[in-house]
Structure 1
Amino acid sequence: MTSNTAVWRIVGLLALLSAAAALFYALDRKPVGTTNTPMIYFAGGKGGEPDQNTCSFEIKGGQYKFNGGDNNNCTNDDMYWYRLDNAPSAALITFHAEDDCREGGDWYFRFRTYINPITVGWQKISDLNGPKPGDIVTKGIMFDGGEYNKGAVDGKISCVTIDY
């Protein structure tokens, strides 16, 4: 074997080893978005845009009363906007006007995520008053149901329940 052929074989072997190392590295990596914590954010915004009055909590099963309690830092009756970050598919999220998290009362609106994961920019809570079950609110969010009986929707959210 000539020295030129040996060099080409070594170069080919190194290229093959580099490709194999890259493949093993890629297989060991988690897909984009799976290492981030799924979050829901809320913002005030009486002036028509989200303002600096914000709060958030992790998207996981439970009730989240907007009283600055143990599981969130949200202010009751002061949020107008919501957004999702890295939310899992099939999360069922209900916004309640009542601070006891019941359905009925003034109003409640429920939606389900359907893309995994989904990140959605700021949406007005009051825009959930009107769609029919099955309507797409925005990419990744499907309206699941709700009821409006009376009162303002803007700024009147008091509780969120998450079934996931």
Structure 2
Amino acid sequence: MQHITDGLQDTHLSAQEMIDNLMTSQRIPRDDPDRIRERLDSCLKRLRLTTLLYSAIIQRRLKTLPPLITEQAPPVARRLDEVYPLLKSLPHRFGEVACAFYDLDTGAIDEAMDSCFFDAFAAAEMLKAPWTGTQDKFTEWADKFQVGIKKPD
């Protein structure tokens, strides 16, 4: 299993190299009649974006949390309570996407990707506004993230 994850930190791996590493027993047919490679390319781009989302949330929202023993606490806590289940479920959704690709099941691939990236989009939306209510760098970045996560290519 270690050989599969060895190169994942290298963002310069091509989609084909990732396919070769992850799908040692299953191969996408050379003629690819179901356009699985296109789906995989789109998925990998959006997975990378989602990984960046987690980093941005940590840097721009979690590290800037106001003290929770103030008048601001109830709205902040409510937002955290709403977004937490989405952020917690995304790693599991990534696994579902990977399984669908491994099975070469285009219906399951499309369904898993839609679910996964919808949740990532929603998490960005929930945390787009800073705790203070004014716009910041993350707000602008989240808008761009949402455009990127929605487009299929």
Is the TM value for this pair above 0.5?
no
Q: TM-score when scaled to structure 2?
A: 0.26
Q: TM-score when scaled to structure 1?
A: 0.24
More helix, by proportion: 2
Tell which structure's C-alpha radius of gyration is larger: 1
More strand, by proportion: 1
Return the structure number with greater relative CO, CA threshold 8 A, min gap 6. 2
